[in-house]
Amino acid sequence: MSHDFYLWMSYGMTAIAIVAEIIALRARRARALLHVEEERELEAQD
Amino acid sequence: MTINWFYFSSPSTFYRFAGALAPWFFALAALAATAGLYIGLVVAPTDAQQGEVYRVIFVHVPAAWMSMFLYFIMAAYAAMSLTFNTRLAAMMARAIAPTGAMFTFVALWTGAFWGKPTWGTYWVWDARITSELVLLFLYFGFIALASAFEDPRRGDRAAALLAIIGVVNLPIIYFSVQWWNTLHQGSSVSFKGTSMHVSMLYGMLLMALASWMYSIGTALVRVRAIIVERERRTRWVRDLHPAIPRSVPG
């Protein structure tokens, strides 16, 4: 196998790992804000 | 002039502070990574023995460094949270763990794809590689333990203990190439000097800088999410994030 394959696999997976982490971070933040909203709605119902 | 550290250790203050700083760290990471990749993939010469595949080091070495540095910092925050019972230190330890795990995974993966053409195998149960794999499991263990309790403070304490015990693995990783007869090569860069071409060294150091900036940026963004999760019942969080419209009036 040519060296290009090993380089692409290395750099490609690094890029995927970074993109996946950023997507997970954004999702976590969105989820946290949604929980704030749910708390606010619960308080409004009381 | 003295800095009032207690002021910054308040989650509400740190939340704003982290929000202001994070974009700058991401911008610096992008700049350093662009320069590092340009030097590493374009400027640096082909290695006489390994050919083009040596260019894996521009992601492998910074990832391996970060995997250890981040664990050390995570354990330091964990120790701080146990000693001083500070909420923010425990949150910071939690915020660092996923990025540390990501870099450990990248170090192992890129090492495997460097090892195949160089050693003829993706994996060997070599002391350096095995102790790096143990580090990945320590990160996973920390993340799992921190999330295993209903009460996050109990999760913080249990995970902090694991993080502190796991520090013993760091010198094992670092000195493994000296203590045992390993397939993994010794360090090419040390405080005494380097055996690399100067452009290779600059490319690697720029990528290491980019990894540091990225790690700080992600830790700051993640700790903000953790602060919101934990403090969602407090007035300041609700005031900070006004109601999100669920639907657009038609």
Residue B126: φ, ψ to 5°? -85, 150
Task: Tell me whether residues B233 and A39 touch, CB distance under 8 A.
Answer: yes
Q: Rounded to the nearest 5°, which phi and psi values hold at B197? A: -65, 145
ipTM of the complex in this document? 0.90
Residue of B49, B60, B96, B102 to mutate, interface with A, max A Cβ within 10 Å:
B102
Q: Which residues of chain B have pLDDT under 70?
A: 1-6, 188-193, 241-250
The DSSP annotation for B115-148 comes to: HHHHHS-S----HHHHHHHHHHHHHHHHHHHHHS
Per-residue pLDDT at B243: 57
Say what the pLDDT of residue A3 is. 82
For an interface test with A, give the residue of B15, B50, B53 to mutate (most A CBs within 10 A): B53
- Decide if A15 touches B, using CB distance below 8 A: no
Q: Supply the pLDDT for residue B179.
A: 84
Handedness of CA B191, B196, B197, B201 (dihedral sign): negative
Report the alpha-carbon distance of residue B218 to residue B37 in Å, rounded.
20
Q: What's the Cα-to-Cα distance from B231 to each of B11, B16, B149, rounded to whole Å? A: 8, 14, 17
Question: What are the domain boundaries of chain B?
Answer: 32-232
Interface contact B110, partner A, CB < 8 A: yes
pLDDT tens digits for range B29-81? 999 999 999 999 999 988 888 888 899 999 999 999 999 999 999 999 999 99
Residues in A touching B105 (Cβ below 8 Å): 17
d(CA B5, CA B28): 25
pTM: 0.90
The pLDDT value recorded for residue B249 is 47
* B32-232: CATH number: 1.20.120
pLDDT of residue B241: 67
CB contacts < 8 A, A to B, total 82
Alpha carbon B183 to its chain centroid, in Å, reads 25
